[in-house]
Amino acid sequence: MTEAEARAIMRTQGWTYKQRSRYGLKTKYVYAQRRQGPKMLDRYICPLSRLGNLTEQELLAKLTLPPEAAEHT
């Protein structure tokens, strides 16, 4: 999957595509972000280097997890 495909899938599900580096590391990670009331929900997707191996079904599964379950993945 490309970044453009991931963005399009996230957008249709109401999420925004975000890339971040963790704690000053050079490795970039993909997150989905969504507003829920006054809070912003962040959902970890995968390292950017592995986005090409991610399937649409895997991405949708990560986006549809309930918030409690997503905290433990």
Mean pLDDT of the chain: 89
Q: What percent of the chain has pLDDT over 70?
A: 90
According to the model, what pLDDT value does residue 35 have? 92
According to the model, what pLDDT value does residue 58 have? 95
User: Where does the chain show beta strands of DSSP type E?
Assistant: 16-21, 28-36, 39-47
Q: What are the tokens at 54?
A: 């991610």
* pTM score, whole prediction: 0.82
Measure the CA–CA gap between 19 and 32, rounded to whole angstroms: 9
pLDDT for residue 1 is more than 60? yes
Question: pLDDT by residue (tens digit) across 44-64?
Answer: 999 999 999 999 999 999 998
